[in-house]
Structure 1
Amino acid sequence: MQEMEEQGFDLMDLLGMVAENLKLLVLLPLIAGLIGLAVSYVLPKTYTSQAILYLPPTPPTPPTPPTPPAGGSQLVAPPMTVTQAASTMLTPMVLDNVIVARNLGVGRPLQAARAELKGSAKAAVGKDLLLRLDVTARTPEDAQATANAIIGAWLKSTNPDPREVESQTKRLSYVKASLEAVRLKLARLTQNSGTERKSGVRDDLGAYVIALTEMELRYSAEVRNLEKALEGLSRDVLLQEPTLPLEPSAPNKTLIAVVSAVLCAFVLMVMVLIKHFWTMSAQNPASAKKQTRVLRALGFKTRVGGEG
């Protein structure tokens, strides 16, 4: 390789190789791009329907909870957040109902139908806190219908279990009664606060009013949460109904053509470089013998310097 090192390899050599093989480096990638474009028309088309949902954020509640009634149920969980909605929208409980409603499991196992359905749908929360559901299918109508089925099954899953309705209804009645009692007591204390003259009594009364106010806020929040839990979610959370796509989302014809042309150009450039270095190596006797051994190992018959 001494001769190669003496000759060196710089940018001008690279430009020279490109100029010598310019037609090859231009025409073949162009042909490869056209072939990729033609293939993209043969590939099956898929369409994507998108729905956008908005779940209002849960208002903060005071950290101090009120004392629940003896033997009563525990406090209800806060309303579902948009992140929780995204994680529960594609659960087996929802997908199985969609499979039954859309007859997607005919002639195959339920797990296979569930895996295919989950792979064709995507639920994600954006930076704008909007939940986007994208469903892909072979036809625009199937994509839209499947998206509607997923939303319908998910909304149904947010409704309380019939066994929980009774206990939550009792809890709601208790909380409303407690809230009304706290408000009446606060109103009486407010009216009587002006008649108290002693500073110690005023301090005790102020602390009591603060405690009752915190309890009122907590009861009010629990009333809202219980009412929402009993109602469940409705289609009012939809900012955009599932769309009927007019253009296929895949295959991306432009991307396929560009990638095909770029890959072809890259392979050709590598081959040109290999050819260049191979030719330079052949000018050196020691390197030529190594090339002969390589060719013989590959099954080619050749001789160097009269050796057979």
Structure 2
Amino acid sequence: MELRHLRYFQTVAQELNVTRAAEKLHMAQPPLSRQIRQFEEEVGVALFDRVGRGLKLTEAGRFLLDQSLQLTQRLEETLDGTRRIGRNEKRWFGIGFVPSVLYGVLPELIRELRGDDSQVEVGLTEMITVQQLEALKSGRIDLAFGRLALNDPAIVQQVVMAEPLVAAMPMSAPPLDSPLDAEALARQPLILYPARPRPSYADHVLSLFRAQGLQPRVVQEANELQTALGLVAAGLGLTLVPASVQRLHRDDVRYVPIEVPGFVSPVIMSYRAGDGSPYLARAVDWVMRQGKA
């Protein structure tokens, strides 16, 4: 499948008339009709219903049009940024992050970086810590924020802060008179995230229980923080989240303190060893000053 085939489909889907679409694409109608038929065969489902001399999108066609327009818009933005960087009008600075840091230091850093230098394009990519290290080494990103310490001589890792963990529980659960201790936590049904890939924050949570000589009762695994909170709201169990996640207010979830020494989750900043970029140095310095504040 080529990008031009997707553009042919989008034009026909918006015009719902092959003749008008062909005119708009500056091509003849018969080849466009062939391209659309071949595109449907490649996708494997009908995208159009032929109604008389006109066309109507099938449900699958409506879905593909909506999703593909978002993709091509993002592609255009990416190409535009690439051209600016290629013309030395802007420099690219990529940041990888785990979702939970969106409720802590990361939003402030993004505002700082974007306001600090208009000649730098800041790109954000959600990825777990293991993926971050590979992306740093390949040059796809320049700075990363995760929650897992990994030993790699090509990467520098610095702990920005250690966040206390809290238990996210369904709002319908009976109120507690005191913070949860380790044994009380181990008795509760636990929703663990992310389920994959591993190692990840999930392994960190399991290691905290092992350090207390306890085995948690894992009843469900989820791939995303938001999914885990949704399962909590549905009453399947509780999940352990960094305290900053409490800024994500939900009417169906409440957060309960945990009173267990060491039940914390570090925010770990990672970057390439030997990277002498002044922009990276400014970013690292700003983050570490915030962590000490």
Structure showing greater relative contact order (alpha-carbon pairs closer than 8 Å, 6 or more residues apart): 1
The interval holding the TM-score normalised by the smaller chain is under 0.3
TM-score of the pair, normalised by structure 2? 0.22
TM-score of the pair, normalised by structure 1? 0.21
The structure having more radius of gyration, on CA atoms, is 1
* Structure showing the higher strand proportion among its residues: 2
